[in-house]
Amino acid sequence: MNRLLAVAVLAALTGAAQAQPYISVGTNATSVGVSYPSNRVEADDVSVFAALGYRWSRYVAAEVATFTPGSLRDQTLLVQPTSSTPMLWTETKRSWKANGFRLSVLGTIPLTDHWALLGRLSAYHLRTESSTSFKSMQDDGNPTTPLSVSGSSSNASASTVVPGYGLGIEARVGYTPVYVRASVEQIHLRSGMFGAGNDLDHNRIRTSMVEVRYQF
């Protein structure tokens, strides 16, 4: 009994000794893909982020980090002549941007003293803004009839929490408290984040992260 108690106390002290806060800075290479009824829009962007974390043991950590996936712009021009309308010209412009932060729980599988595999489950709090404008011009082919021009625009904003998950690898720089991480993460999105006419089933944000972590 005393031996079991001693082992439990030693394990608790070892875990407490390994519990350490850390900070990290890095870059996000983000790919945003959005589907609409007539087309699909994709955009890539690079941003900088900072994170503050706490490692309870070699296997479990949690962190909070800034996140800016970038912006997306699209312009579609369509000319559709018909039997009754020799020219139907339409233009659609869309823009989208977001910023926020993420809360993550990380699981680590040590491979050696210097290498480890990472798994990350995250909750992203995103503030998004989107705008859509539409213009159309019709020409019936009669030179005495003026062109028919119409248009509309809409703006939307949303604040939501969406899940993400990812995998990565971490390397320790010698026996210093400096670590280098590389990881990829997929973020699932909700409806209303990209404006009207958006096909939610094909929306995604994929981010690749490279960061330097300093453990206190």
| CA–CA gap between residue 76 and residue 133 (Å, rounded) | 11
Domain annotation covers residue 15: no
Give the pLDDT confidence of 113-162 residue by residue, as tens digits.
999 999 999 999 988 787 778 777 776 666 666 666 777 777 877 788 88
Residue 86 belongs to what domain range?
Answer: 20-215
Domain annotation covers residue 105: yes
Domain annotation covers residue 186: yes
Average pLDDT, the chain: 78
CATH number of the domain bearing residue 201: 2.40.160.20
Count up the domains in the chain and report the number: 1
Domain annotation covers residue 8: no
Domain annotation covers residue 2: no
Instruction: Please state, in angstroms and as integers, the Cα–Cα distance from residue 185 to each residue in 28, 102, 155, 209, following that order.
Output: 10, 12, 29, 8
The 3-state DSSP composition of the chain as helix, strand, coil percent (nearest 5) reads 10, 70, 20
Domain annotation covers residue 3: no
Quickly list DSSP for 154-203.
EEEEEEEEEEEEEEEEEEE-TTSSEEEEEEEEEE---TTSS-TT-EEEEE
pLDDT tens for the chain, 216 residues: list them. 555 444 444 444 444 446 799 999 999 888 776 655 555 566 677 889 999 999 999 899 999 999 887 666 666 666 666 555 555 667 777 777 778 999 999 999 999 999 999 999 999 998 878 777 877 777 666 666 666 677 777 787 778 888 999 999 999 999 999 999 999 998 877 655 555 444 444 567 788 999 999 999
- For residue 38, the model assigns a pLDDT of 55
